[in-house]
Structure 1
Amino acid sequence: MGWFENYFEFERYGTDMKTEVLAGMTTFMTMAYILFVNPAILSDAMGKEAFNSLVAVTALAAGLATILMGIYAKKPFALAPGMGLNAYFAYSVVLGMGYDWRVALAAVFVEGLVFIVLSVTKVRSAIIHAIPISQKYAIGAGIGLFLTFIGLNDVGLLTAVVNDAGVLQFTGLNTSALTSGEILLFFFGLFLTMILIALRVKGSLLISIIVTSVIGWITGLAPWPEHLFSTPDISYTFMQMDLQGLLNVGAIGVIFAFFMVDFFDTLGTVTGLSAKAGFLTKEGKVPDAEKILLTDAIGTTVGAVLGTSTVTTYIESAAGIEEGGRTGMTALVTGLLFLGIGLFIAPLAGAIPAFATAPALVIVGYYMLSAIKEVNFTDHTEAIPAFLVLITIPYTYSIADGIGIGFISYTILKLFSGRREEIHPLMYVLSLIFVAYFAYLGGVF
């Protein structure tokens, strides 16, 4: 036990083994839905026969990348195939643009290699350090609102769908479901979580998830696990990248789109989680950024080899951070649970219903929103771009889009307010890149 405490520097972060293990379990329980949601989305593009392989691949990619994050970067951040990126992979690239799913995997693989190069050369960390601190806190708060919306959407209370064209469509409050058993259990879980937090009960999020799940199983609102064990098989997707297919005209555009969304989703997530965990320095820098980003890049590359869309750092890691997780031990526990439960006891993880995990997402969103208080609202050139980030991330269902609007507006406001000396040179570059990115999305080129 002493080796773990020394290696992960428990004393430095004021934590202990019990807290770290509990935090790791909480993060896993909050993320476990990805074991079935990701295969469901990707199998629409790869074929329903790929589903079982994708369950194992999702668990394997998440487990290996998260363990690497824990041991190498020593941060309590978990990784898995990214939501939004998997939808873009399936519905836009494969079903929309008509590319074979093997070509799409190759694009993800190449994107991962590019990220590895940028991480090793410290370009990615330089970009993170160039971002104004007000934007970093706004990104964290915006992700909090995003998480809350995901939770409400997962349980069917507020509904929004992404159509085949990749456009988000809001359908508003689902009034017909307000008295359904699932919604009532969601509110039960939400109030149970709030009460436990108010009473300062350790492990409140995890306790709520477990209690609400058990009630759901007993009442028949969620199915009991049909069986505990399953045999992993990744043969359908393993090493299926079609690199030659990338030579086709237009494939570069696909890589560019994957690159932009993944790069800035990860940047925003890492920044937001670091702010939540108290890792940011006084200058707003993320300690060990190179190690975090290199782990993320390796995860994407290995994930493509295994057969899944982009692997990225998960905003749900905030659940474990809120439970006190501050070291790589949290990530190590989460990764081991992905390998153990995801690979061999997948039906049990799949039996955790959305109405049990949604309250945790809502509460974590509340905690992350608190970062906005660090923004100086007496300075309009800082506050207005922060506000635009805050509203754009949840309303567009995209972290990357919110960051882009924030960067562009920040640069323009500072420039035309005669405060150009406050703009880091890289912010000009990033703003222009986002202008090109939005132009690409708009079909300008």
Structure 2
Amino acid sequence: MGWFEKYFEFDRYGTNMKTEVLAGITTFMTMAYILFVNPQILSVAMGKGAFDSLVTATALSAGITTIIMALYAKKPFALAPGMGLNGYFTYSVVKGMGYSWQVALAAVFVEGIIFIILTLTKVRSAIIHAIPMSQKYAVGAGIGLFLTFIGLNDVGLITAVTNGGVLSFTGMNYSALATEEGILFFFGLFLTGVLIAKRIKGALLISILTTSILGWITGAAPWPHRIFSTPTLSYTFMKLDFHGLLNVGALGVIFAFFMVDFFDTLGTVTGLSAKAGYLTKDGKIPGVEKVLMTDAIGTTLGAVLGTSTVTTYIESASGIEEGGRTGMTALVTGLLFLGIGLFIAPLARAIPSFATAPALVIVGYYMISAIRSVDFSDATEALPAFLVLIAIPFTYSISIGIGLGFISYTLLKIFSGRWKEVHPIMYALALVFIAYFAYLAGVL
């Protein structure tokens, strides 16, 4: 038996090299769309000149962090800049609140450091138990709608306008339905749906590439001049602005990044561990601290490289379904990100927004399903969850959605005589958000 088989304990998990390698390739195919989508979203905040650097930052952060997951945590989980958080970075923090992208990167870095500290001190468990499940489900579903709105905005079906730091919608643009871009968007959306229904691996990636090729052929988008280029980080590397974080509003940004990353990671890791058969009888995940630490390191590394929050991807389930059970799966995925993703900036730049917009809508479709776990027979649980669900997309702000949910949940429990059901930490968090909203309103 070779070194890899011994190190990753193939015998213990009943797997072999062929299975692990194929599982790693499957995971990469399923989540490789992030190489195209993440640079498109973040370049809206950073400028078109940042695109090539963003492709490199996306590939490097995904590749390095996934390899750390493989060698340190030994789990078949892959990581990359998170969907939803990149949208929050661009449309809420930069476009909505008016912060520079350098300040936003600093906020991501600080959030990662906080995550590392909480993981080391194990304070995270207290926060996990404090937040009600209904709020966790609602945040995930709300981010799904947020991504859907971004996708529709990218293709021109709806339009979000910034006016004095406030984002508003101009309504439905029906003329976009008859354009080449609109028609190709719906083609991509339909194609993705068919591929998913047929359980074809890499549905999002296949749809993006197919729709792009059709766009190039029809002239709706220009052909790529070339496919490969030398990686660069000149635009984004170490461009963090910590000085701009020194105000109350920016603290709310850090908090929002942290909350979403924290619970998204927890939910994803729990789900993947259950699928892989790691959960113990009492629901614990062996080695979970290493998984969370890897995730936190990825976030800080990503900020230094120039991308938004790095997190564990639920798409890792595709590799697990193919039999991947050890870190060897993640090692293969990470190496593919480095071996392929680092060099495809010209191709990624040529991918039109109408080809990536369907992917945003489909990811939103996946995430909205979490809301079905909320108990809608209990108004003190369901109403705050509903407020989160609608506030996140309609305000283009994850932090505002979380804040409204925490405050309304706490107040409803208090005034319905069920205040004992609220964890003390939730009272503190509700007060923090009340102060945050007062600051935004100019009261403080």
The answer, yes or no, to whether TM exceeds 0.5 is yes
- TM-score normalised over the length of structure 2: 0.80
**2:38 counterpart residue number:** 34
- How far the C-alpha of 1:79 sits from its partner, in A, is 2.8
Listed one character per residue, the Cα deviations across residues 328-384 of structure 1 (whole Å, up to 9, x for unaligned) are 677656544443344222111223332223223323322332222222111111111
CA spacing shift, 1:75–1:134, aligned 2, 3 Å: farther
The 8 Å contact of residues 134 and 374 in structure 2, kept in 1 or not, is answered as: yes
CA spacing shift, 1:340–1:90, aligned 2, 3 Å: farther
**1:119 counterpart residue number:** 119
The answer to whether residue 309 in structure 2 is matched with residue 311 in structure 1 is yes
- How far the C-alpha of 1:212 sits from its partner, in A, is 2.0
Paired residues for 1:38-187 under 5 Å = 38-43=42-47, 48=49, 52-69=52-69, 71-72=71-72, 74=75, 76=77, 78-80=79-81, 82-86=86-90, 90=94, 96=98, 109-161=109-161, 163=162, 165-187=164-186
CA spacing shift, 1:71–1:400, aligned 2, 3 Å: farther
**1:251 counterpart residue number:** 246
State the secondary structure of the residue aligned to 1:160. Answer: strand
The 8 Å contact of residues 105 and 242 in structure 1, kept in 2 or not, is answered as: yes
Provide the rounded CA distance (Å) in 1 between the counterparts of 2:14 and 2:153. Answer: 37
- How far the C-alpha of 1:178 sits from its partner, in A, is 0.7
Provide the rounded CA distance (Å) in 1 between the counterparts of 2:341 and 2:368. Answer: 31
Identify which range, 101-110 or 35-44, moves more after superposition. Answer: 101-110
- TM-score normalised over the length of structure 1: 0.79
Provide the rounded CA distance (Å) in 1 between the counterparts of 2:232 and 2:144. Answer: 36
State the secondary structure of the residue aligned to 1:83. Answer: helix
CA spacing shift, 1:329–1:375, aligned 2, 3 Å: farther
CA spacing shift, 1:19–1:109, aligned 2, 3 Å: closer
Amino acid at match of 2:138: A
Identify which range, 369-378 or 171-180, moves more after superposition. Answer: 369-378
Structure 2, unmatched stretches of 5+, are none
Identify which range, 234-243 or 401-410, moves more after superposition. Answer: 234-243
Amino acid at match of 1:400: S
Amino acid at match of 2:144: G
CA spacing shift, 1:138–1:110, aligned 2, 3 Å: closer
Identify which range, 328-337 or 345-354, moves more after superposition. Answer: 328-337
Listed one character per residue, the Cα deviations across residues 310-345 of structure 1 (whole Å, up to 9, x for unaligned) are 43437xx45564786687677656544443344222
- How far the C-alpha of 1:127 sits from its partner, in A, is 1.2
Structure 1, unmatched stretches of 5+, are none
The answer to whether residue 293 in structure 2 is matched with residue 294 in structure 1 is yes
The answer to whether residue 378 in structure 2 is matched with residue 383 in structure 1 is no
- How far the C-alpha of 1:111 sits from its partner, in A, is 4.6
- How far the C-alpha of 1:27 sits from its partner, in A, is 1.5
- How far the C-alpha of 1:92 sits from its partner, in A, is 7.2
Amino acid at match of 1:363: I
CA spacing shift, 1:340–1:372, aligned 2, 3 Å: same
**2:356 counterpart residue number:** 357
Identify which range, 120-129 or 52-61, moves more after superposition. Answer: 52-61
The 8 Å contact of residues 116 and 297 in structure 1, kept in 2 or not, is answered as: yes
The 8 Å contact of residues 36 and 55 in structure 1, kept in 2 or not, is answered as: no
Listed one character per residue, the Cα deviations across residues 379-404 of structure 1 (whole Å, up to 9, x for unaligned) are 11111112112212221222232222
Provide the rounded CA distance (Å) in 2 between the counterparts of 1:90 and 1:255. Answer: 11
CA spacing shift, 1:414–1:241, aligned 2, 3 Å: closer
Amino acid at match of 1:148: T
The 8 Å contact of residues 137 and 375 in structure 1, kept in 2 or not, is answered as: yes
Amino acid at match of 1:157: L
**1:222 counterpart residue number:** 221
The answer to whether residue 255 in structure 2 is matched with residue 264 in structure 1 is no
Listed one character per residue, the Cα deviations across residues 62-120 of structure 1 (whole Å, up to 9, x for unaligned) are 43334435554536453328333245665578xx57x8x76776565445433322332
CA spacing shift, 1:173–1:52, aligned 2, 3 Å: same
Identify which range, 362-371 or 229-238, moves more after superposition. Answer: 229-238
**2:421 counterpart residue number:** 422
The 8 Å contact of residues 76 and 331 in structure 1, kept in 2 or not, is answered as: yes
The 8 Å contact of residues 69 and 78 in structure 2, kept in 1 or not, is answered as: yes
Query: What root-mean-square deviation, in Å, do the aligned CA atoms of Structure 1 and Structure 2 show?
Result: 3.8
Listed one character per residue, the Cα deviations across residues 265-303 of structure 1 (whole Å, up to 9, x for unaligned) are 213433554576585989998886644543343234333
State the secondary structure of the residue aligned to 1:159. Answer: strand
The answer to whether residue 231 in structure 2 is matched with residue 232 in structure 1 is yes
Give the fraction of aligned pairs with identical amino acids, expressed as a percent. Answer: 56
